């Protein structure tokens, strides 16, 4: 199954890179969601996939009695999901605010910080 997941992650990453290369920042945002999903899957699958049982210790035992799923990548992925959501929400508000202020979602038209005129002047 890991190999199948590897190919799937490859497709996810390819799709997100393609989206992030777009000029429309909304597409960039979609790419961001996809790539964080892909990254989470990479971490999760690197800990190996075990369908047996979740990483819980049964009552009365001091340690898991049978083979359980790898807990470490799960812990990492759990926080990564929440942080990824925070990042996404911030990016979304940024895009939203940008659109309100500049009236465009095209990154080529967002030239406030580095105006084209100033650049041309600096080149002289």
Partner 1 sequence: MMNSIILNAATRLVVALLLLFSVFMLLRGHNLPGGGFIGGLIGATGFVLHSIAMGAQATRDTLRYEPQNIAMIGLGIALAAGVFAVFFGDAFFTGQWWFAGADPADPDDKGIPISSVLVFDIGVYLVVFGSLLTLVLALEEEV
Partner 2 sequence: MAKSEAEVARVYGGPAGWISVAIPAAIFVWMLQYMGAVAAGQPVLVGIDWVPSMDIRLSVLIDGLSLTFALLISGIGTLVTLYSTKYLGNHPEYPRFVLFLMLFMVGMLGLVLSDNLIALFVFWEITTISSYLLIGFSSDEAKSRRSALQALLVTGTGGLAFLAGIILLGNVAGSFELSEVLGQGDVIRAHPLYPAILILFLAGAFTKSAQFPFHFWLPNAMAAPTPVSAYLHSATMVKGGVYLMARMNPALGGTDAWFWALVIAGGFTTVFASVLAIRQTDIKQVLAYTTLMALGALTLFIGAGTAAAITGMMAFLVVHSLYKAALFLMIGIVDHETGTRDVDTLRGLGRKMPLTFLGGAIAALSMAGIPPLVGFIGKEFLYKAGLDMDRATLWITGTIFAASALMFVAAGISVLRPFTGKLAQTPQTPHEGPWAMWIGPLLLGSLSLGFGLFPDTLEAWFVAPGTWAVYGDYGYAVDLYLFREVNAAFLLSLATFATGAVLYAIHRPLRGWLGRVFEANPIKFDPGWDRVLDGLKALAGWQTRLLQSGVLQRYIFTVFLTLAVGIGATIWAKDAMDFRIDWVGSVEGLQFKHWAVVVFVTAGAILTAITTSRMTAIAALGVVGIGVALIFIIFSAPDVAITQLLVEVLVVVLVAVAMLKLPQLGLARDRKRRPVHAALAGTIGVLVTMVMIGVVQGNIDRRLTDFFEVASWPEAYGRNIVNVILVDFRAIDTFGEIAVVVIAALAAYALLRGTRYDRNGDKPEDRT
The least distance separating partner 2 from the CB of residue 43, rounded to whole angstroms, comes to 10
Q: Given the complex with partner 1, which of 52 and 79 has the nearer CB atom?
A: 79
**Least distance from C-beta 116 to partner 1, angstroms?**
30
Minimum gap (Å) between residue 15 Cβ and partner 2: 4
Q: Are 75 and 44 in contact (CB under 8 A)?
A: no
Which option in partner 2, partner 1, none does residue 70 bind, with CB closer than 5 to 8 A by kind?
A: partner 2
CA separation for the pair 25, 107 (Å, rounded): 6
Q: From the list partner 2, partner 1, none, which binds 43 (C-beta under 5 to 8 Å, kind-based)? A: none
Output b/e per residue, 22-57; b: 16+ Cβ within 10 A. eeebebbbbbbbbbbbbbbbbebbeeeeeeeeeeee
């Amino acid at each position: 199954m890991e190999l199948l997941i590897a190919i799937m992650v490859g497709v996810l990453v390819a799709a997100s890179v393609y989206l992030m290369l777009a000029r429309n920042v909304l597409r960039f945002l979609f790419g961001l969601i996809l790539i964080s999903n892909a990254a989470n899957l990479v971490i999760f699958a690197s800990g190996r996939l075990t369908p047996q049982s979740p990483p819980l210790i049964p009552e009365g035992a001091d340690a898991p009695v049978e083979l359980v799923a790898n807990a470490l990548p799960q812990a990492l992925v759990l926080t990564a999901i929440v942080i990824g959501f925070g990042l996404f929400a911030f990016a979304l508000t940024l895009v939203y605010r940008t659109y309100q202020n500049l009236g465009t979602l095209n990154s080529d038209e967002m030239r406030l910080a580095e105006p084209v005129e100033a650049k041309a002047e600096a080149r002289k």
